Amino acid sequence: MASNNAVKKKKKFFVLVFIIALVVFVYIFMFKSSYFKIDTIKVVGNQILSYNDIKELAGINYGMNIFKVNPGRIEKNLLNSPYIKESKVEIKYPRTVEIRVKERRIVAQVQDKVNYLMIDKEGVVVKKDVYNPSLPLLVGIKVDKYEIGKRLSDVFEKNYLGELLGLIENTNFCAQITYINENHIVLTTKSGINVSFNNPYDIKYSFKFVELILKDLTNKGYHKGTIQVTGDNNPVFLP
């Protein structure tokens, strides 16, 4: 009976030693060997920030153990940059980290005393800078205070101003945007033609129509006049 107990104890001892040895081996293999050291960091979606900018914001480096990478923390670090709207980090074992970002594009500028606040289509202040003649100037928005990385005013989400800025984003004809009220916004083109949006029913449709009219007016040499867009009516040009 005593010998059986001794055998059982010896088996338990060897099992325990084996488990400890296995745990130590796995730990050394996972955290101390070079097999899981990061040798590839991919960055996808960046056009404004450089690869090194993204890597520095993420806080990861080559040679770092991949099990020490915290995707949630990296995504939070990246969102600290006002240029980054969205971020997603994916770990691809054994040695690759992929970072996907969606950047904010500056579409307009708002004057604040002697400086200009560069904003994206959602009204988020990306940076403070000097006047940029290639960007449309947004006037009519009261600036009491601002914070880099935050929306300048709630008017951008309460009406179609934000959507209109999104439509302007990929064009280059607009010189000024005048916000009169939540229903009435006026664009002034670089050629001097005003486009008056007054409570448009479908801003996307109206904007495309306006682009066609502007192209036609440019071909005909017009440098003044007003295109009126009211409700669900088709745009009308008044010389």
Question: Phi/psi of residue 166, each to 5°?
Answer: -65, -35
Q: Which residues of the chain have pLDDT under 50?
A: none
What pLDDT score does 16 carry? Answer: 74
Q: Which residues of the chain does CATH 3.40.50 include?
A: 108-238
What is the model's pLDDT at position 30? 62
209 by Cβ neighbours in 10 Å (0-12 / 13-18 / 19+) ranks as middle
Residues 98-121: b if buried by 16+ CB within 10 A, e if exposed:
ebbbebbebbbbbebeeebbbbbb
**Ranges for all domains in the chain classified under CATH 3.10.20.310:** 34-103
Taking only the tens place, the pLDDT of each residue in 184-238 is 999 999 999 999 999 998 999 999 999 999 999 999 999 899 999 999 888 899 9
Which CATH superfamily does the domain covering 34-103 fall into? membrane protein fhac (3.10.20.310)
> Angle, nearest 10°, between helix axes 71-79 and 51-58?
120
Q: Residue 28 in 3-state DSSP?
A: helix
- The structural architecture, per CATH, of the domain 108-238 is 3-Layer(aba) Sandwich (3.40)
pLDDT at 25: 59
pLDDT of residue 158: 82
Quote the pLDDT of residue 29. Answer: 54
- Reported in sequence order, the residue ranges of 52-141 that DSSP labels E, i.e. its strands, are 84-92, 96-103, 108-112, 115-119, 125-129, 137-139
What residues have CB less than 8 Å from 195, skipping those under 6 apart?
186, 187, 188, 189, 210, 214, 226, 227, 229, 235
